[in-house]
Chain A
Amino acid sequence: MSTAMTKVVQSSRTSRIAGLVAIVLILALLSAAGWADRGTLSLLMEFFCYLALAEMWNLLAGFAGIVSLGQQAFLGLGGYALFFAALRLGWNPLEAFLLAGVAGAIIAVPSALVVFRLHGAYLAIGTWVLAEVLRLIFSEVPSLGAGSGISLPVKFAKSVHLGGMHRDAVLYLAALALALITILASYLLLRSQRGLALTAIRDNELGARSSGVRIFSVKLMVFAATGLGTGFTGALLYLAKLRISPLAAFDVNWTSYMIFMVVIGGVGTLEGPIVGTLVYFILRQYLADLGSWYLIILGVVAVTVMLRLPMGIWGTVARKYDISLFPTRRRVLFDQDKPTTPGVAASSAETTA
C-alpha cells in the first residue's frame, strides 16, 4: 500500500450530523431554564453535575491512565471552599464559586507530585488516601463545623440569582455549562497533539516516553484540569445541598458513582459517560425506594456490564456499527471515501482512543 494515497481524518458524516443535533439539543436545554418547573430543573441540574463528574473521571482513567479513587477530595474541597468563602470571608456566591474551582486545581498540583510516584492500583489507593487526609483535616476545623458539618446561611443561598431568574434555574444553567465545557474541553484536548500524547501514555507509558512524550507535564495538566472542574462541581452540588460535613463531602461513594457511570457507559469514549449517567439516573429514579436492594441492583448491573460488555454500552454499540459522535480517534482513509475497518487501521497507523 502506498502512503501517498492515505489520509488521516477524525470526523465522519455521523459526527457532523451529531454535531448539528447536539446544537439543537443544547439550545433546547438552555431554554429549559425558562419553562421547566423547579423539580425538573433541580433534577437536570444534578444530572449535569454527575455528567461533568463522569466525564472528568473518564478523562483521567480512560485517556490519561490515571485510575483515581480519590476524586471526592476535589469535590469536597470545592464544597468546603464555597462554604468557607461564604461563611468566613463574606464573599458573594459567584466569587465563592470561583474560589472553589481554583482551590481544586491548586491542591491538585502538590497532590500530583506525590501520587504520580505511584502507578496502577497503588496510584488508586494513593488518591484515596489523599481524600481521607483531607477528610480528617476538615474534621479538625472548628470554624467549619469540625466533624459535625455546617449549614450554608439561607440568605447566601437566596442571593443566587441572575437577572430575575430563580435560584434553581441559575444552578441548572451553571451545571449545564459545566457539563458542556467539560465535554467540549475533553473533545478539543483529545483531538489535539496533547490528546495523542495522553492516549499514548495510557496504552504504553514506557513506549510513549521513548517516543518523546513529556509524560509528567501532560498528566499533571489533566489532573489539575479535572481538579478544577471537580472543585466547581462540588461547589455547585453543595450550594444546592446547603449543608456540608466531612463524611458526606469526602465520601468515597462520590467516586464509586463516577466509576459506575463511566464503566456502564463505556470507558475511553466521550459518549460513554453520557449513556452511563442516563442509565444511573433512570435506575435511581425508579429503584431508589427499594433501600439496600437498590444498591445491590446497582452492583449487579455494574458486574454484569463489566463481564458481558467490557467496553460498556456505548463502546459495544460504537464498535458494532462503527459510529462515533465525538470522534477523537484518528482514522486512516486509503481511498477518498472508504474508511478502514478498525482492525485494519489498528495494524497500520491508528491510535485507538
Chain B
Amino acid sequence: MPTRREFVKASTAAALWAVGCRKKTSANRVVKIGYVGPFSGSLAAFTEPDAFVLGRIRRAIAGGLVINGQLHPVEIIGKDSRSDPNRAAEVASELIQRSNVDILVTAHTPETVSPVSDQAEINEVPCVTTDAPWQPYFFGRGGKADEGFDWTYHFFWGADQLVDVYTNMWDTVETNRVVGALWGNDNDGNAFGDPVTGFPPVFAARGFKLVDSGRFQLDINDFSSQIGAFKRANVEILTGVLPPPGFATFWSQAAQQGFRPKVVTIAKALLFPAAVESIGPRGDKLTTEVWWSPHHPFRSTLTGQNAAELCADYMRETAKPWTPPLGFKHALFDVAIDVLKRVKDIDSPESIIEAVRATNTSTVVGQVAWRGKPVRNVCTTPLVGGQWVRGEDGRYSLKIVNNKHAEEIPVETGLQPIDYSGA
C-alpha cells in the first residue's frame, strides 16, 4: 500500500517525465556553448590566444560530455562582437534565439561583457563571464547588492582589489604620497574614480593625497591640462586607466613637458608586451596590476595543467608571449565545462544555473566559486602588482613585485622607481 507521500513522489516524477518528453529530446543531443568575443576591432588583442585555447578545450571534450548519465557531444559557437557593444548585444541575442545555446560565455572589458549579460538575463539563459572589473559589471548594469542577478555570473577582480594592490606597491617606495589620476569617462574610469565605491576613499584612508584631473573623453590627444595640473601639485605617483594609444600619447607629452613621476601605475594600457614595447625605452619600470602569470600556482581541472605549463605550451605552439587573457579565457571554458558536467537536467535552464551557483572548481586563475562575496553574482580572483623591466636586448618582461594582496603568488623582485638619469 503506497503512502500518500510515495504516491505524490511517484506522480510528480511521472509528470516531470511527461514534461521532459514534450521538450527537445534530450538523449544525446548536441549541447551548445555560445561564446561572444571581440575577435576584430580595437579589443582584438584580447582574443589573440583564442585559437590556441579553443583548440585545447575542443580536444579535451572531443569525446563528448557525460551529463546526468547521458553522453552528449558539445559544440562551441563563437561570434565576433567587433569590439562594439551594439554588435555584442546582437550576436548574443542571435546565439540565444537562433542557435538555442544552453550556456553563454563571454569576456574582455565591460563593453563586451555587460551587453551580453543583459541579453542573457532577460532571456533567462545561464551566462558565465570574466575579464571586466566587477564593479562596472555589477553596478553598471543596475545590480543591487541585496538582489543581484538570476542568470548571470562573473569571476574577475574588482576596483577594491586594484586600489589595494596599487597602494601596497606605492608604500614600498619613498615618495611625497601625492597621486595624480588619469581616469577617463568610460566604464573603468568612472568606476575607479567613483568618490564612494572607487579609489578616492581608499587613498584618503591610506594617506595618499589625490590630484584628480577629472573624467576626460578617451579620444583626446592633448593632455597638457592634466600634465600641468600634476606638475603644479608636485605629483610623484601617477595612476590611471587608459587604452594603450592614449597612454602612449600621454607619456610622450609628459616627457616633452618635463613631468617626471617616480612611480607610474596604469591599468589596461600596460597589459600586453607589444603595447609596452611600442612605447620604447620609456616603458622601462612602468608598473601595472598582474591578473595572471606563469607564476600563479593554480591548476586547471579540465586539463590538469598549471599556469606555467599552459604558458610554456602556448609560447611553444604559437611563438607569441603569454598574456593574462590566455589564463582567463582558459578558465572561462574550464568553468563552463565543469558546470555542464554537474547539470542534472540539460534541457532545463534552471538546472544549468543551479549548477553554475554550486560551482567550486580549480582553474589556472584560481578557485572559482560563487559564495555571495562581494556580491551574489561575483567571484573574485587574486591580484598582484607587477613592473615591466627592459632587458639588454630591448625586450620587456613583467616581474611580480608585490603580493601583499595575494600572498600565494610569489614575488620575483622589488619595485624600483623610474630612473630618469639617462633622460
| Contact (Cβ within 8 A) B217 A139 | yes
Given A158-B122, A241-B89, A292-B40, are A151 and B97 neighbors across the interface (CB < 8 Å)?
no
What's the least CB distance linking A85 to chain B, in Å?
15
What's the least CB distance linking A249 to chain B, in Å?
8
| Contact (Cβ within 8 A) B140 A150 | yes
Question: Which A28-60 residues have a C-beta within 8 angstroms of B?
Answer: 37-40, 42-43, 46
Residues of B within 8 A of A42 (CB): 93, 97
What's the least CB distance linking A213 to chain B, in Å?
39
Which candidate, A112-120, A140-148, A215-223, is the interface stretch facing chain B? A140-148
Residues of A within 8 A of B184 (CB): 147
How large, as a class, is the contact surface on chain A? Answer: 35 or more
Residues of A within 8 A of B142 (CB): 150-151, 153
A136's closest neighbor in chain B, by CB?
A: B217
A157's closest neighbor in chain B, by CB?
A: B122
Given A39-B98, A242-B115, are A154 and B121 neighbors across the interface (CB < 8 Å)?
yes
What's the least CB distance linking B270 to chain A, in Å?
21
| Contact (Cβ within 8 A) B89 A242 | yes
User: How many residue pairs, one in A and one in B, have C-beta atoms under 8 Å apart?
Assistant: 94
> When the two chains form the complex, which single residue of B90, B100, B140, B141 contacts A241, counting CB atoms closer than 8 Å?
B90
Given A139-B217, A154-B121, A291-B80, are A39 and B94 neighbors across the interface (CB < 8 Å)?
yes
Residues of B within 8 A of A247 (CB): 85
> When the two chains form the complex, which single residue of A139, A248, A291 contacts B185, counting CB atoms closer than 8 Å?
A139
| Contact (Cβ within 8 A) B122 A242 | yes
What's the least CB distance linking A77 to chain B, in Å?
16
A251 to B84 alpha-carbon distance, docked (Å): 10
> Quick check: is A289 within 8 A (CB to CB) of the other chain?
yes
Question: Which A322-351 residues have a C-beta within 8 angstroms of B?
Answer: none
Given A139-B217, A146-B185, A149-B187, are A242 and B119 neighbors across the interface (CB < 8 Å)?
yes
> When the two chains form the complex, which single residue of B89, B98, B119, B186 contacts A148, counting CB atoms closer than 8 Å?
B186
| Contact (Cβ within 8 A) B187 A148 | yes
Residues of B within 8 A of A147 (CB): 184-187, 189-190, 215, 217-218
> Quick check: is B191 within 8 A (CB to CB) of the other chain?
yes
| Contact (Cβ within 8 A) A148 B86 | no
> Quick check: is B110 within 8 A (CB to CB) of the other chain?
yes
> Quick check: is A206 within 8 A (CB to CB) of the other chain?
no
B216's closest neighbor in chain A, by CB?
A: A147
| Contact (Cβ within 8 A) B118 A243 | yes
> Quick check: is B158 within 8 A (CB to CB) of the other chain?
no
Tell me if B's interface is mostly helix, strand, loop or mixed: helix
| Contact (Cβ within 8 A) A243 B80 | no
| Contact (Cβ within 8 A) A151 B80 | no
Residues of B within 8 A of A292 (CB): 40-41
A40 to B97 alpha-carbon distance, docked (Å): 8
> Quick check: is A240 within 8 A (CB to CB) of the other chain?
yes
A251 to B115 alpha-carbon distance, docked (Å): 16
> Quick check: is B208 within 8 A (CB to CB) of the other chain?
no
What's the least CB distance linking A291 to chain B, in Å?
4
A289 to B142 alpha-carbon distance, docked (Å): 31
Residues of A within 8 A of B90 (CB): 46, 241
A145 to B80 alpha-carbon distance, docked (Å): 25
Chain B CB within 10 Å, residue with most, of A42, A149, A152: A149
How large, as a class, is the contact surface on chain B? Answer: 35 or more
| Contact (Cβ within 8 A) A289 B80 | yes
Query: C-beta contact mask, A284-303 vs B, less than 8 Å → 1, else 0?
Result: 00001101100100000000
> When the two chains form the complex, which single residue of B94, B122, B215 contacts A146, counting CB atoms closer than 8 Å?
B215
B151's closest neighbor in chain A, by CB?
A: A154
Residues of A within 8 A of B121 (CB): 154
Query: C-beta contact mask, B146-190 vs A, less than 8 Å → 1, else 0?
Result: 000000000000000000000000000000000000001111011
> Quick check: is B261 within 8 A (CB to CB) of the other chain?
no
> Quick check: is A199 within 8 A (CB to CB) of the other chain?
no
Given A248-B86, A289-B80, A292-B40, are A151 and B118 neighbors across the interface (CB < 8 Å)?
yes
> When the two chains form the complex, which single residue of B39, B40, B140, B191 contacts A151, counting CB atoms closer than 8 Å?
B140
Given A145-B140, A151-B141, A243-B115, are A39 and B97 neighbors across the interface (CB < 8 Å)?
yes
Residues of B within 8 A of A158 (CB): 122
What's the least CB distance linking A84 to chain B, in Å?
14
A157 to B119 alpha-carbon distance, docked (Å): 11
Residues of B within 8 A of A139 (CB): 185, 217
A43 to B90 alpha-carbon distance, docked (Å): 9
Question: Which B120-148 residues have a C-beta within 8 angstroms of A?
Answer: 121-122, 136, 140-142
> Quick check: is B79 within 8 A (CB to CB) of the other chain?
yes
| Contact (Cβ within 8 A) B217 A243 | no
> Quick check: is B114 within 8 A (CB to CB) of the other chain?
yes
| Contact (Cβ within 8 A) B118 A291 | no
Chain A CB within 10 Å, residue with most, of B100, B184, B187, B189: B187
Residues of B within 8 A of A39 (CB): 94, 97-98, 100
> Quick check: is B282 within 8 A (CB to CB) of the other chain?
no
> Quick check: is A245 within 8 A (CB to CB) of the other chain?
yes
Residues of A within 8 A of B122 (CB): 154, 157-158, 242
> Quick check: is B82 within 8 A (CB to CB) of the other chain?
yes
Residues of B within 8 A of A253 (CB): 84
What's the least CB distance linking A227 to chain B, in Å?
21
Residues of A within 8 A of B118 (CB): 151-152, 154, 241-243
Q: Chain A: residues with CB nearer than 8 A to chain B?
A: 37-40, 42-43, 46, 136, 139-140, 145-154, 157-158, 168, 240-243, 245, 247-248, 251, 253, 288-289, 291-292, 295
**A and B contact pairs by CB, cutoff 8 A, 30 listed:** A39-B97, A39-B98, A40-B98, A43-B98, A139-B185, A139-B217, A145-B140, A146-B190, A147-B186, A147-B187, A147-B218, A148-B140, A148-B186, A148-B187, A148-B191, A149-B140, A149-B187, A150-B142, A151-B118, A240-B93, A241-B115, A241-B118, A242-B119, A243-B141, A245-B85, A247-B85, A248-B84, A288-B80, A291-B80, A292-B40
7 closest Cβ contacts across the A-B interface? Answer: A147-B185, A39-B98, A291-B40, A39-B97, A242-B118, A241-B89, A148-B187
